[in-house]
Amino acid sequence: MSNQWIEYVKSYAKDNNLKYNEALKQAGKSYGDVKIKKIHSKNFMGNGLKSLTFQKLLEASYSGKEDVEGFIMDKSISSSTSKVFVHQSGQVVVAHQGTASVMDWGNNAVYAISGDTGYKFTPRYKEAKKVQENAEKKYGAKNITTIGHSQGGYQAQLLGAKSHEIITLNKATRPQEVLYGSSKKKNQYDVRSKSDVVSLFRNPFQKGKDQTINNISNPLSSHSTNILEKNKDVIYGDKNFYVN
């Protein structure tokens, strides 16, 4: 148990006229917000994410892990499928989760059939949109790096236009994009595995800041966030984006 937490509980007990054991039960509900306010002390413009940090934040969008290499989840505005993380540097990450349930496959079907227009009516999109807007209102869009894996990468593309940068991994695509392109944003960086099927359908003439991770032959494992371990020293995103 950290000294910082113990001191916070003591202070909480004193301020609320509670015994230590009673304060211990209640203080956790507010500790995260206090910690976030303390570390978010200066303006910051996103400067990319190191590969392993990017991987762990994407994984946390699924697992709900609250502390990822110094990024602390702001639970007050996060949801079950979209998480907001704040770093002591001031960088904020909004991480949109990929497909993880039967309902998500229904959302994927809507996207496959009707593209952006239909997908924006899905509950999944509306939930992600609410989290994104709340994060931008609370922290300022210019301080945010919007990320997502698979379907979450597609959500990041739709919602991150005001962010300083968008970084996606194996973003969901559909065959129509080969001919007509997509709603990809100017501040967007797409990372994908060469053998990933989900992110395969991209317009070859569409300009973008893309990077392909090679030599992963298994189609199933190639879609996983684990592919980022291969380029552990690479920094993805604005200014530090490495091109093959």
pLDDT tens per residue, range 102-143: 677 888 889 889 889 999 999 999 999 999 999 999 999 989
Please, which residues bridge with residue 57 across strands? Answer: none
Widest distance between CA atoms in the chain: 66
Q: Can you list the residues of the chain whose pLDDT is less than 50? A: 1-2, 38-45, 240-244
Prediction pTM value: 0.79
Q: Output the pLDDT for position 244.
A: 33
142 burial type by CB count under 10 A (0-12 exposed, 13-18 middle, 19+ buried): middle
Predicted pLDDT at 31? 55
pLDDT at residue 39, rounded to an integer = 45
Contact call for residues 176 and 115 (beta carbons, < 8 A): yes
At residue 125, the pLDDT reads 96
Show Cβ contacts of residue 186 under 8 Å, excluding neighbours closer than 6 positions.
Answer: none
pLDDT score at 29: 60
Q: What is the pLDDT of residue 177?
A: 87
Looking at residue 243, its pLDDT comes to 36
Name the nearest CA neighbour of 148 among 229, 66, 61: 61
